[in-house]
């Protein structure tokens, strides 16, 4: 009996200690003292975002309608894609709303890692009272956004297009010299003697998928379990990610940023892509906004001079009769630490970031009245 009592006592001691640690970690997260992720108490059977991406003959890749749930790092992905493949509520092609807006872009516009009602497009719809239709798709390049608009989105009543350009990815993604040999089926703007022409690279396979469902190894399953059910592990993950990021960006190496490092050919290629959008929407209001990430802000600080890209894009937009908004100044002016608007485990905006972007874009959208 004495031996059993000792075992029970030790077990209860360990259990109570663990629960106290978990409680303290919960308080740290809940009060935002440590901005880690709270447990979801929902185990993800897989962790591959590409599960819902399928080939599309007209612009390369698209979402498969239906529900997707998985975990990616510290993020919980719980997305629903409507009947025509956008992460949005069902929308009618015809609408009495004469101020409907179509949003184009990649995962930042789609709202990677953000719940449906917390995305900036959802916030703008509530604020303005107008439909904000989200046609963003993760993995998109700029040309894919425009081709998707021409082939599908243009069929929905709207008078405004708001397009998010992510220079860090979009410039190389649309550069055939950089990504053209990947084998992925997608369109490119190819420079010829007569100008740019659109050509597809890679092989189209209608039955293919961009990724296969894999539950992962025992270690991967264990990690997903701990992320789903414990506070302490999510705090450790947060601290580890933050330390790794700080070490990476303090190594003294050149910090890449296409706010500075873009080539003239990449810029002229984008001019052609924007012209394609203007031709497809000759009388629509077009607002182009650029999306900065942490590397861009760090490079700006290191350079200690204005970024080179925004004035060039402003000139191109003026030429096309489009408006231009760089989000970087608004993000820098909104808080002492721009890092507060991004996930620490991922380059995308967090909920606070989406709230700020909604404010900045709504201000631009209302400039000429609704």
% pLDDT > 70, the chain: 91
| Average pLDDT of span 188-197 | 93
* Region at 139 (left for phi over 0; alpha for psi -120 to 50; beta for the rest): left
- For 18-43, write each residue's pLDDT tens digit: 999 999 999 999 998 888 888 888 87
Per-residue pLDDT band for 6 (boundaries 50, 70, 90) equals: confident
121 lies in a domain? yes
In this predicted structure, the answer to whether residue 356 has a pLDDT above a threshold of 90 is yes
Per-residue pLDDT band for 57 (boundaries 50, 70, 90) equals: very high
pLDDT, position 194: 86
- Tokens 């970031």 correspond to 353
Query: What total of structural domains would you count in the chain?
Result: 1
Which pair of tokens denotes residue 147?
A: 């081709």
349 lies in a domain? yes
Pick the more confident residue, 323 or 248: 323
Cα-atom radius of gyration of the chain, to the nearest Å? 23
86 lies in a domain? no
Task: Provide the residue range defining the domain that includes 137.
Answer: 93-208+255-365
CA distances from 157 to 32, 163, 280, 316 (A): 42, 17, 14, 26
Pick the more confident residue, 239 or 284: 284
C-alpha to C-alpha distance for 370 and 130, rounded to whole angstroms: 9
Question: Which residues fall within 8 angstroms of residue 363, CB to CB, at 6 or more apart?
Answer: none
Question: Which residues fall within 8 angstroms of residue 47, CB to CB, at 6 or more apart?
Answer: 70, 71, 72, 216, 220, 224
Pick the more confident residue, 327 or 44: 327
C-alpha to C-alpha distance for 174 and 320, rounded to whole angstroms: 20
In this predicted structure, the answer to whether residue 188 has a pLDDT above a threshold of 60 is yes
pLDDT, position 173: 93
Give the CA-trace dihedral at 41, 42, 45, 46, to 10 degrees.
-90
Strands (DSSP E) along 202-254, which ranges? none
| Average pLDDT of span 254-264 | 92
235 lies in a domain? no
80 lies in a domain? no
C-alpha to C-alpha distance for 155 and 342, rounded to whole angstroms: 34
234 lies in a domain? no
Per-residue pLDDT band for 247 (boundaries 50, 70, 90) equals: low
Burial 158-180 (b: 16+ CB within 10 A, else e): bebbbbbbbbbbbbbbbbbeebb
- Say how many C-beta atoms besides its own lie within 10 A of residue 323's C-beta: 19
CA distances from 95 to 92, 107, 120, 131, 251 (A): 6, 26, 22, 9, 53
Pick the more confident residue, 39 or 157: 157
Instruction: Report which of 114, 113, 137 is spatially closest to residue 210, judged by C-alpha positions.
Output: 137
C-alpha to C-alpha distance for 280 and 57, rounded to whole angstroms: 19
pLDDT, position 76: 81
79 lies in a domain? no
| Average pLDDT of span 119-137 | 97
| Average pLDDT of span 162-169 | 97
Per-residue pLDDT band for 46 (boundaries 50, 70, 90) equals: low
Find the range with the poorest average confidence among 27-31, 61-65, 158-162, 219-223: 219-223
| Average pLDDT of span 38-59 | 78
In this predicted structure, the answer to whether residue 95 has a pLDDT above a threshold of 80 is yes
In this predicted structure, the answer to whether residue 208 has a pLDDT above a threshold of 70 is no
**Average pLDDT score over the chain:** 89
Contact 259, 298 (CB under 8 A): no
Domain CATH number, residue 143: 3.40.50.1110
260 lies in a domain? yes
C-alpha to C-alpha distance for 331 and 108, rounded to whole angstroms: 15
In this predicted structure, the answer to whether residue 229 has a pLDDT above a threshold of 60 is yes
């Amino acid at each position: 009996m004495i031996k059993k009592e000792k075992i029970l006592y030790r077990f209860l001691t360990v259990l109570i200690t663990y629960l106290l640690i978990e409680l303290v970690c919960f308080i740290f997260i809940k009060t935002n003292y440590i901005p880690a992720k709270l447990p979801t108490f929902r185990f993800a059977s897989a962790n591959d975002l590409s599960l819902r991406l399928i080939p599309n003959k007209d612009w390369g890749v698209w979402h498969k309608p239906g529900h997707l749930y998985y975990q990616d790092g510290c993020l919980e992905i719980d997305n629903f894609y409507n009947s025509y493949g956008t992460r949005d509520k069902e929308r009618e092609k015809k609408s009495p709303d004469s101020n409907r807006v179509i949003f184009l872009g990649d995962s930042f516009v789609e709202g990677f890692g953000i719940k449906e009602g917390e995305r900036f497009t959802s916030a703008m719809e509530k604020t303005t009272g107008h439909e904000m239709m989200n046609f963003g798709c993760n993995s998109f390049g700029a040309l894919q956004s425009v081709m998707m608009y021409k082939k599908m989105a243009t069929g929905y009543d709207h008078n405004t297009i708001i397009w998010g350009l992510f220079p860090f990815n979009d410039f190389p993604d649309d550069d055939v010299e950089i990504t053209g040999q990947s084998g992925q089926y997608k369109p490119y703007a190819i420079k010829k003697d007569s100008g740019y022409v659109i050509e597809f690279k890679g092989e189209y396979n209608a039955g293919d998928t961009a990724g296969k469902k894999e539950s992962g190894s025992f270690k991967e399953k264990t990690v997903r379990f701990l992320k789903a059910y414990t506070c302490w592990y999510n705090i450790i993950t947060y601290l580890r990610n933050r330390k790794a990021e700080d070490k990476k960006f303090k190594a003294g190496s050149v910090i890449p940023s296409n706010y500075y490092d873009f080539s003239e050919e990449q810029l002229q290629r984008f001019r052609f892509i924007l012209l394609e959008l203007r031709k497809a929407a000759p009388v629509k209001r077009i607002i182009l906004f650029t999306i900065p990430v942490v590397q861009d802000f760090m490079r700006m600080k290191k350079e200690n001079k204005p970024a080179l890209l925004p004035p060039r894009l402003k000139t191109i937009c003026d030429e096309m009769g489009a408006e231009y908004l760089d989000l970087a100044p608004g993000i820098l002016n909104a808080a002492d630490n721009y890092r507060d608007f991004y996930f620490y485990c991922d380059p995308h905006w967090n909920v606070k970031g989406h709230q700020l972007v909604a404010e900045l874009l709504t201000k631009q959208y209302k400039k000429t009245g609704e």
